[in-house]
Amino acid sequence: MKFGSMMRTGMVAAGLLAGAAGSAFAQGAPIKVGILHSLSGTMAISETTLKDVMLMLIEEQNKKGGVLGRKLEAVVVDPASNWPLFAEKARELLQKDKVAAVFGCWTSVSRKSVLPVFEELNGILFYPVQYEGEESSRNVFYTGAAPNQQAIPAVDYLMANEKVQRWVLAGTDYVYPRTTNKILEAYLKLKGVKQEDILINYTPFGHSDWQSIVADIKKFGSAGNKTAVVSTINGDANVPFYKELGNQGIKAKDIPVVAFSVGEEELAGIDTKPLIGHLAAWNYFQSVKNPTNEAFIKTWQTYTKNPKRVTNDPMEAHVIGFNMWIEAVKKAGTTDADAVIDAMIGIAVPNLTGGLSAMMPNHHITKPVLIGEIQGNGQFDVVSSTALVLGDEWSDYLPDSKDLISDWRKPMSCGNFNVVTGKCGGKGK
Amino acid sequence: MSPKRILAVLLSVLASAALAGAALAADLAGLIANLTAGGFGERETAITALAASGEQRAAPILEALASGQLYVRKSDNLVLIGKPDGNQLSLTEAISGKTAGSGTEAELDRVRVNNRLRGVIEAAVGSLTLMSPDARVRRGAAEALFKRRDAASLAALDVALAAEKDPRIKRAMSEARAASVLASDAPTAQKLEAIALVRERADRDSLGVLDATANSATDPEVKAAAAAGANATRQTLAAWEAAQNVWYGISLGSVLLLAAIGLAITFGTMGVINMAHGEMVMLGAYTTFVVQEIIRTSAPHLFDASLLIALPLAFVVAGGIGILIERGIIRFLYGRPLDTLLATWGLSLVLQQAVRSIFGSSNREVGAPSWMSGAFQLGQLNITYGRLWIVVFSLIVFVTLILVLRKTPLGLYMRAVTQNRPMASAMGIRTPRVDALTFGLGSGIAGLAGVALSQIDNVSPNLGQGYIIDSFMVVVFGGVGNLFGTLIGALTLGVVNKFLEPYAGAVLGKILVLVFIILFIQRRPRGLFALKGRSVE
């Protein structure tokens, strides 16, 4: 006993010495981690969960002794679903609280709003949600899916397995659905789908009267060829949309709907029995069976003291991002932003679907793409899964971005390198 | 015949029956083993084989598979059908149909199906159930085969048609047969006959069949007939579409009416700009949720009545909070519209966050009672019961409110205070009390709207925000202080919106309606029906 405790003391001392490479005064002071998720307003429904999962991860890491011999401390701020406030809160986190890294944002518009702040103050942001691509920043790590990790495999699945020939692209009217639909439209045309076989429809945020749109979809779908709906409908509008589908008797085997923003959390408010067979494409489902995932679900349900609490894809993205950051900090031996950003590339950590996800030079990660069908219990059955896919930040299907690549390794260190002109700084950001 | 011989014959018959049974079971076991092993591709072959076997047990097994109730027990690899029974599953053996106790999901592996397989199963079960004794099952099978239009089901349909007695089912079956003929390589004359039969249906499904035939047929005569049929069907459907838009407009209008009618009282007759009106609607919806939760846990048989129980409670909760708000805040702010606006807006944020703290930020599930689920067909109009009841309910609320205002003493006091406060006060009416009750009535009606809206929208803390702007629009458009104006305004906006939506899209449609109202208010600042009189101060 005595010997053991002496050993432990010795090890702690060694750890402290190792950590002392930076400033001797930082000794023992906790490392601050910023959490920038809306806890009120429209997006609170989705983002509150991510705040909780971050708090849980930080608590778990502290139980393991923190990192570099120092504890982690969460700094939670509430940007209240207000996009300009995201930028202010990000500035507050970086300047006032001097956090080592920030985990946050959900909507693309909030990410666009904080981007200049992170670039100006040289912070680190981990962004956990599937997004439209067409962006790469040195200060942002994109742990959610790019369009080629979600939208395109989903369309491929429907083409191959359900022989879909007509497409309805329905989305909420903002940047993510519009860009994704632009990419999908270009991709479908490349695959020989005719213009008259594509119907694009946008609705405002929080749209609640879906009667005529669902009737339109029904009409479009009764033209003889198999039809599918690709839905980038976001947030609250999904519940009345799915209710209307059920009411008007659109069954998944007639017109399947594949959604990119509907996960376990969103289904929690709906009776899913009329929706059995509608699809969603993600990189993670709670129903995936493997020991890592089962352990994670158990920890989460214990942490939230709710045995029915569900897990979802953006949560997995935060788990991956957080573990990558921990590894990068260990590798760099410091929390200094430049050192950690350089150390991040090439780090691989286990994801929750039973594989390894790696951070690539374009600040996107490798993940498998899973297609799931909704079940009566609000969970998804995986009907198709791919090998690891690397997120492609600049879509190959858009004329403006097909020549661009991003590589943040030195000496290139460029987010929009044009392979045709050989210069850094093409179109886009 | 001696008794001995009879016994011998009997025994031999029994033995052969038992033998045949055993052989059948072995066959079935093999088919089912194929069903549960392998990937989706192999499963599809197994389903077709099982359906073709003509086994008695095939239909229930396939139906269980389609609904995700077919399991393999992990311990002994036995294939079971599991029906949910509380937290457990009550199990029956798939092959024999014998009960096999109960089990939990954890002990079993569910046999998975995808959309494609569900389609295959439906068609397979369709040809198996064409001869079912239940008329509704036969009819469903015929409908499924019509949509499937597979030449392979022709044989089964011919047999079933010969045996069918019910003329309506017979008709459905001959339509299904016609659709199958069009998918087969039957001679031109038969196909033309089939087109004529399908054309008479004149609905979306028959249009699909005709369009597909017009696209794929090689025979020019068949092609032309199918195209002509499709065009005629399209014209019929266009007329129905206009009717459908009117119905959707009325339905949207009734939702607007419900949300706005409470505001027509507080804003319309009292002149209070109540930004927290939407939150009263939200409170009504959460009351419904709480009522349903209690019913689910303690009296499940009352579930169908849950909305009726929730109605008075929602009225009392929202009305009570309305009275508290009036007594606590608004009465100090009469005659200061800007202050009222800011105070009630702040209050709406407080109420939202309070609900978020108590119930959590995620959506709550409010179930639909059975009499509000589903839809019925009126010609080519698809009318959902939920929407129909909301239209009826909003009209009931409207008429009741008119009666309260016209025929009760409270209504008389309210009108008196609205029209001339000092005179009403001089006549002995306690105006502050009437103010509180009026505000409570308006809020209570918003609570009732919440019960109805919980059926079609998210029950989340943001529920009310989506309706507040629309409500003000309806009240201002209809004419402040005039209930009939609110009714006409709501229905007009609903119908206009639904006619614009297919052409302009939902986003532009909303913008156009807003622009229209702005222009309208420029011409008639007091709305459709201007009230003569004076509002409070």
User: Rounded distance, CA A350 to CA A323, Å?
Assistant: 9
Nearest residue of B to residue A374, measured between CA atoms: B114
Beta-carbon separation of A276 and B68 below 8 A: yes
Interface list for A 236-265 with B (CB within 8 A): 236, 239-240, 243, 247-249, 252-254, 256, 265
A201 has a chain B CB within 8 A of its CB: yes
pLDDT in tens, B224-250: 888 898 889 888 888 888 898 899 999
What mean pLDDT comes out for the span B392-417?
93
Cβ pair A82, A36 in contact under 8 A: no
What mean pLDDT comes out for the span A281-287?
95
Comparing A378 with A26, the larger pLDDT belongs to A378
**Which of 1.10.287, 1.10.1060, 1.10.3470, 2.40.50 is the CATH number of B241-523?**
1.10.3470
pLDDT in tens, B442-462: 999 999 999 999 988 888 888
Q: Tell me what pLDDT residue B375 has.
A: 81
Q: Tell me what pLDDT residue B121 has.
A: 84
Report the percentage of chain A scoring pLDDT > 70: 92
Comparing B151 with A388, the larger pLDDT belongs to A388
Binning pLDDT at 50, 70 and 90, where does residue A102 land? very high
Nearest Cβ partner for A42 among B251, B362, B462: B462
Per-residue CA distances from A152 to A199, A242, A370, B454 (Å): 17, 23, 12, 35
Nearest Cβ partner for A253 among B118, B244, B367: B118
Q: Tell me what pLDDT residue A17 has.
A: 43
pLDDT in tens, B176-199: 888 888 888 888 888 888 888 888
Burial call B64-88: b when 16+ CB within 10 Å, e when fewer: bbbbbbbbbbeeeeebbbbeeeeee
DSSP state of B54: T
Residue B474: pLDDT above 70? yes
Residues 6+ apart with CB under 8 A from B112: A381, A383, B40, B68
Binning pLDDT at 50, 70 and 90, where does residue B536 land? very low
Which range, of A2-6, B337-341, B498-502, averages the lowest pLDDT? A2-6
A294 has a chain B CB within 8 A of its CB: no
Nearest residue of A to residue B353, measured between CA atoms: A40
Binning pLDDT at 50, 70 and 90, where does residue A25 land? very low
Residue B234: name the closest of B212, B263, B204, B255 by CA. Answer: B204
User: Rounded distance, CA A259 to CA A267, Å?
Assistant: 12
DSSP state of A185: H
A354 has a chain B CB within 8 A of its CB: no
Residues 6+ apart with CB under 8 A from B108: B71, B72, B73, B74, B80, B82, B89
* CB contacts, 8 Å: A215 with chain B: 244, 248, 382
User: Rounded distance, CA A72 to CA A325, Å?
Assistant: 12
Other CB atoms closer than 10 Å to residue B378's CB: what's the count? 12
Give me the phi and psi of A354, to 5 degrees please.
95, 15
Comparing B531 with B66, the larger pLDDT belongs to B66
Q: Tell me what pLDDT residue A24 has.
A: 38
Q: Tell me what pLDDT residue B10 has.
A: 52
pLDDT in tens, A152-166: 999 999 999 888 999
Report the percentage of chain A scoring pLDDT > 90: 61
What mean pLDDT comes out for the span A334-341?
94
> DSSP of A346-393, one letter per residue?
T-EEE-TTSSEEEB-TTSBBEEEEEEEEE-TTS-EEEEEEEEEEE--S
Nearest Cβ partner for A243 among B209, B456, B502: B456
Cβ pair A136, A146 in contact under 8 A: no
Beta-carbon separation of B507 and A269 below 8 A: no
How distant is the Cα of A351 from the closest Cα of chain B, in angstroms? 24
Nearest Cβ partner for B115 among A48, A208, A253: A253
B407 has a chain A CB within 8 A of its CB: no
Residue type, A359: M
Binning pLDDT at 50, 70 and 90, where does residue B393 land? very high
Q: Provide the whole-model pTM.
A: 0.80
B365 has a chain A CB within 8 A of its CB: yes
Nearest residue of A to residue B506, measured between CA atoms: A203
Cβ pair A393, A364 in contact under 8 A: yes
Peptide bond into A411 cis (omega under 30): yes
Q: Tell me what pLDDT residue A426 has.
A: 59
- CA geometry: angle A271, B288, B389, nearest 5 deg: 75
What mean pLDDT comes out for the span B9-25?
50
Nearest Cβ partner for B245 among A208, A212, A218: A212
pLDDT in tens, A180-209: 999 999 999 999 999 999 999 999 888 888
B361 has a chain A CB within 8 A of its CB: yes
Binning pLDDT at 50, 70 and 90, where does residue B398 land? very high
* CB contacts, 8 Å: B112 with chain A: 381, 383
A290 has a chain B CB within 8 A of its CB: no
Residue A128: pLDDT above 50? yes
The token pair at A19 is: 């950590």
Interface list for A 316-345 with B (CB within 8 A): none
* CB contacts, 8 Å: A268 with chain B: 362-363, 365
Binning pLDDT at 50, 70 and 90, where does residue A417 land? confident
Residue B323: pLDDT above 70? yes
Nearest Cβ partner for B507 among A41, A173, A216: A173
A206 has a chain B CB within 8 A of its CB: yes
* Alpha helix (H) residue ranges in A28-107: 44-63, 83-91
Nearest Cβ partner for B457 among A41, A208, A277: A208
Comparing B480 with B317, the larger pLDDT belongs to B317
Query: Which residue is listed with tokens 């799915």?
Result: A242
Q: Tell me what pLDDT residue B9 has.
A: 55
Rg (CA), chain A: 22
Residue type, B479: G
Binning pLDDT at 50, 70 and 90, where does residue B307 land? very high
Q: Tell me what pLDDT residue A31 has.
A: 95
Domain parsing of chain B, residue ranges:
133-218, 241-523
Q: Tell me what pLDDT residue A5 has.
A: 53
Q: Average pLDDT over chain A, rounded to whole? A: 88
Nearest Cβ partner for B115 among A49, A252, A269: A252
Beta-carbon separation of A248 and B375 below 8 A: yes
Q: Tell me what pLDDT residue B479 has.
A: 85
Complex ipTM = 0.76
B466 has a chain A CB within 8 A of its CB: yes
* Alpha helix (H) residue ranges in B79-114: none
Binning pLDDT at 50, 70 and 90, where does residue A62 land? very high
Residues 6+ apart with CB under 8 A from A370: A281, A282, A283, A284, A285, A288, A353, A382, A384, A385, A386
Q: Average pLDDT over chain B, rounded to whole? A: 85
Other CB atoms closer than 10 Å to residue A7's CB: what's the count? 10
Cβ pair B89, B71 in contact under 8 A: yes
Strands (E), B2-96: 70-73, 79-85, 88-93
User: Rounded distance, CA B355 to CA B363, Å?
Assistant: 11
Q: B139 by DSSP, 3-state: which?
A: helix
B245 has a chain A CB within 8 A of its CB: yes
Task: Name all domains of chain A by residue range, CATH numbers in brackets.
Answer: 25-146+290-367 (3.40.50.2300), 148-288+372-390 (3.40.50.2300)
Residues 6+ apart with CB under 8 A from B30: none
B471 has a chain A CB within 8 A of its CB: no
Report the percentage of chain B scoring pLDDT > 90: 29
